[in-house]
Amino acid sequence: MRIGIDLGGTKIEAVALDQHGDTLFQKRIATPQGNYHATLNQIVSLVSEIDQTFGTRAPVGVGIPGTISPATGLVKNANSTCLIGQPLDKDLSARLQRPVRCANDANCFSLSEASDGAAAGASSVFGVILGTGVGGGLVINQQIVCGPNSISGEWGHNPLPWPSSSEAAIPPCYCGRQGCIETWLSGPALSLQYQKLSGETLRSEEIWQRVSTGDPLAQALSQQYYRRLAKSLATVINMIDPEIIVLGGGLSKVSSLYEAVPALWQQYVFSDTVVTRLVPAKFGDASGVRGAAWLWPDQH
């Protein structure tokens, strides 16, 4: 058995998987807001409940909205700011009296889908999160590729490639730069584009619903979104040439992406043919917590 924890900004989810990947236990609780020690307590409580339920002490993996800095051993790049600068893995290991592995939540998502999800059996998988932000993770031969700076897969903070005249106005990004892919393809970015042109504030899922009802602005933005996503993923294909790209996050539920985007990316990929497949996640919202559990391979 292995235990996975998905530490999100609003919820903490725990799962226990058996050796076949079947779910033995699953539970969600609210994340304490802005309180690091209370967050530790909640995670310890969930793991203790699993220990007591099954009478065993399984290894624990934790997916976090950031990463552990290789230089300092402390959390960096986390949008849950109370985690920044904290030795989360060491603190949890001491409290739980067992080894704990932490990884970026997008990496956990990618590992889940590469292990027994939509990309099971593929030797190279790029996992993409299209939601409040735009993240990614790379898995080669069932192993997460973190890189020496622990930022592998962070395609969302590269600039949008091959900008058109309509993309001349470069939007600012929270990272301090301008024109990041995230500022064009995230859910809030799509909402902002619609609001600027119509004066109406809608969530990204509401905009996609209007595409099917014939809203001209929503339809125009959808075509722009397809092309921007195709251009951006083409740069990923040009660099790492993955067998499969798996989409997760709220925008991954837009079914038209899986036909429209591959039809467009051919013109941007440096190849005569493109056999990379674009697929939706098999486990949806549960991929992150499952991937955290898969941080511990069978031999452990």
pLDDT in tens, 87-143: 999 999 999 999 999 999 999 999 999 999 999 999 999 999 998 889 999 999 999
The two tokens of residue 190 are 């799509």
Burial of 231 (0-12, 13-18, 19+ CB in 10 A): buried
Asked if residues 135 and 104 have their Cβ atoms less than 8 Å apart, the reply is: yes
- For residues 35 and 90, membership in a common domain is answered with yes
Give Cα separations from 42 to 2, 39, 97, 104 (angstroms).
18, 5, 16, 19
Same domain, 125 and 240: yes
Compute the distance between CA of residue 208 and CA of residue 199 in angstroms, rounded to an integer.
17
Same-domain check for residues 82 and 176: no
Residue 114 in domain = no
Same domain, 252 and 132: yes
Cβ partners under 8 Å of residue 1, min gap 6: 16, 17, 18, 19, 24, 54, 56, 58
**Is 267 within the bounds of a domain?**
yes
Q: Is 299 within the bounds of a domain?
A: no
Residue 102: CATH number of its domain: 3.30.420.40
Is there a domain that residue 115 lies in?
Answer: no
Per-residue pLDDT of 256-278, as tens digits, reads 999 999 999 999 999 999 999 99
28 and 94: one domain? yes
Distance CA 268, CA 41 (A): 48
Confidence of residue 40 (pLDDT cuts 50, 70, 90): very high
Tell me the residue range of the domain where 102 lies.
Answer: 2-108+286-293
Provide mean pLDDT across the span 227-252.
97
CA 171, 175, 180: angle at the middle one, nearest 5? 40
In a domain, 44, yes or no: yes
Backbone phi and psi for residue 13, each to the nearest 5 degrees, phi listed first: -115, 140
What are the counts of helices (DSSP H) followed by strands (DSSP E) for the chain? 9, 12
Q: Answer yes or no: do 137 and 78 share one domain.
A: no
Domain membership of residue 49 (yes or no) is yes
